Structure 1
């Protein structure tokens, strides 16, 4: 590019999605004939339930779905999401508080475009989903990371959060169950953090995309249920991707105070208009239906969760707590750094370099902790077939101990 063909500072300060980068490289290696086992992408390996697919197929043949819908989403889908909120989160919202987005990621992006002015700060508990800081930066805000390691279950204290608060703090992100750690915040902490946000006039952004994927009798705690007085400053983000194995359908939503929902609809009207009609019809079938299929997926994930945790902890130098939610294991691998590994005696100075070596030499795709604000860790998705999981863990064990 010529010297005058500069790109905006806005885009230049944003890092690429590390999870998608790992997934893309793994897929490229597979296309070249390399047998790569992918622990990178956060998507269930199950097909979308057949009744949802059948609904979408029928929607394709209906001329009503060949046109635009209202920007905020199909009215019946917004009603169904409001009903789902009452069913799952135990509190009432109106359909006019719901905005349907092109995947949950668009809802995250829109929230910070709406809330932030230049220099506003957002507290982000770390380890965090890789896109949170980037969407804050794209809105002109400053992400403020608050790290909690495995020794405290990857869960911060209110004291840690308050120490990060300044006069410019505008919001805090809650993500429980968590990507990348699988940590689940208990009811007491959720209530305590909600009260802290209430007292300090902070927006609470609650990403609940993994709400139905919890184990060992653990339950997702909903801040909107626990603190009704917080709902005027609460924005809930969710979608069908994880619960219904619908990552490719690209349907998410936000539930927000009416003025925020109106602002999101206004922004979306200039970005993407509406979400695909066919995908919205499929999402309506999913949201309005039972949770039987996610129950079956959760059972399978639970088996894999125990299998991968056991396998990782059996590898010398790897320490992995047992996750209580989502479908990720997040082991500490600091003891593997700066030492000879694999048949070539390769040395990794960071978890990012270790992830690259695992992909290149052991043909295992994992995401480095640097992507989540947690150097020294790796994220392994266990949303893959049991046989692939076992083979991937065998390869890693063999490579580390070679």
Structure 2
């Protein structure tokens, strides 16, 4: 009898295992800079969560998987995390293409998704009816709202009138391109070029030649970090004269700021390490202590916030029951390095975190990313080339 009782106790203890979160990231391929930044943020958050007592009284566990920035690899990795590793929750999700690919199995298994990236509208469509999908990153229409506001400023104060658009051929670049062109035109811009390219190809010669003939004030490109240097190189080689080269990659090439080709290149970011925000300063100090360096890749603090808020919701729920955790996640109202985080409906999904008001526009000035717009956050005047 004692043996049976002891066995029952041991079984009960073994069944009360640690909460496991699967993290699907692009640790290789076109999105690897974002993926590695996010992994660093997750590991920093994990350290802090477990020092504070973990989740449901046990150390939280993370299971990382590399989606390779490729839908064909993302799906089996996702399924393995859910069915073999038997994770309780899924986090990560940088690429729109891979996120669309995993939407099927996510809904099939009823997976709880705390997703940090994947901003293209087709992702929103894919998860519109998923009851356990929490999206932290602003959707692309929120991103574009911020971009359009900046370009309108350039139109008024820098006399920018013409825009050329270069966009990668996946969901990240292509989704909503017609609406983008229409919005620019409605704002009074003349869109003189729209040109698709293959991300990672490095072949921008014909595209830049076409842009040079069109003589735009602004070249607006939508692609990944692997495209930044070859595009900037081709622009210099062909001596394309622009008022502004403006890009929206999720991350930028490592060390890009040290290359003279980055001078005056502008972009969009949810966050920069120079932010005076108290939570940002705390994050930067903790990140530097752990890694010995500072990052300007916003996926690092975004992943950090993602895991911290998920862990807090599980602890408040007192269980891994998805419905109860979702109910607690929905109540999230916390200060973060990006500002206050709450969840409210987007156009199609139930739980959307950050929106348009969180974006900063920066330029590479003096070997650093410097906020230049909105003006109230500008640390230096913007440089406009015309």
Q: Please, what TM-score do these two structures have when normalized by structure 1?
A: 0.30
The answer to which structure, 1 or 2, has the higher relative contact order (CA under 8 A, 6+ apart) is 1
TM-score by length of 2: 0.31
Q: Which has the higher strand share?
A: 2
